[in-house]
Structure 1
Amino acid sequence: MTRFDADDAKERRKLVADAVAAHRERGSAFLTAEVDPDADLDGADEDGYANPAPWIQFADDTFNLDVTDDERADLESLLNDYQEFRIDAMESPEDADGTNVRITARSDANRLSAFVDEAFQAVYGRGEGYRLWVTQV
């Protein structure tokens, strides 16, 4: 891979599809996609605490992501458009403010990349022009 970020839907999806292909070719442990932390919505929650930039990992035909309760509802709604994907596990540690979700997603790189792009928008509230980074392949 020679590029690691993109900020329009077509290029973001191509970037993630290329990252999935590289991940599979290399047999790497996982790939990580995240939004540009400098454009992370307003950067703070209602209490003034900084919000970390959301991320999505992919390995062994499984997505791994952290969500709040509201984001989890949005994720479950998005999964209605991805009937071939299924939630395999959800863990909500007592000391955490969210849920870690693992989704089995056996599909081609283009379908996987569409899900990643749509998840950042529908689940994490990013706008059409958000910048996506592939930070690990």
Structure 2
Amino acid sequence: MTRFDADDPTERRKLFADAVAAHRERASPFFTVEVDPNPESDGEDAPAPWVQFADGTFNVDVTDEELERAKSLLSEFPEFRIDGMESPEESEGTNLRITARSDANRLAAFVDRTFREVYGRDDDYRAWVAAV
């Protein structure tokens, strides 16, 4: 990979597809995509959302409200499924593990839509591939 961030919808999806390809080529343990915190939806002290992918599985942390939006989004990706949900008592959210065996473009579309529809980011949000 030669670039690591994008803020245009088309460029973001290309970036995410490139991250999937780099992850697969390098047989890396995972790749992580991060965005800036959104004070309006995340709260001042809340961490910025992230999406991680490893071994055909997405890993995301969601609030109860975001969980419902994630389930709705997954209804449009029938080849993806929730394989695990953990809600530790000391945490206010849920960690989702979503099996997603698909091509790089379909995985990239899911990542982009997760940030927009689950985490409420605007169309021009900036994302970084923080680790590959």
Q: How would you bin the TM-score normalised by the shorter chain?
A: over 0.9
The residue that corresponds to 1:29 in the other structure is 29
User: d(CA) in 2 for partners of 1:13 and 1:51?
Assistant: 25
The residue that corresponds to 2:120 in the other structure is 125
* 8 Å CA contact retained: 1:41, 1:126: no
Q: Unmatched 5+ residue regions in structure 1?
A: none
**Amino acid across the alignment from 1:15:** L
Tell me the SS of whatever aligns to 2:129. Answer: strand
The residue that corresponds to 2:8 in the other structure is 8
TM norm structure 2: 0.96
Aligned length: 132
Q: Unmatched 5+ residue regions in structure 2?
A: none
Tell me the SS of whatever aligns to 1:77. Answer: helix
User: d(CA) in 2 for partners of 1:95 and 1:51?
Assistant: 15
Give the superposition deviation at 1:43: 7.2
CA RMSD of aligned residues (A): 1.2
Seq. identity, %? 66
TM norm structure 1: 0.93
The residue that corresponds to 1:17 in the other structure is 17
Tell me the SS of whatever aligns to 1:134. Answer: strand
User: d(CA) in 1 for partners of 2:74 and 2:85?
Assistant: 15
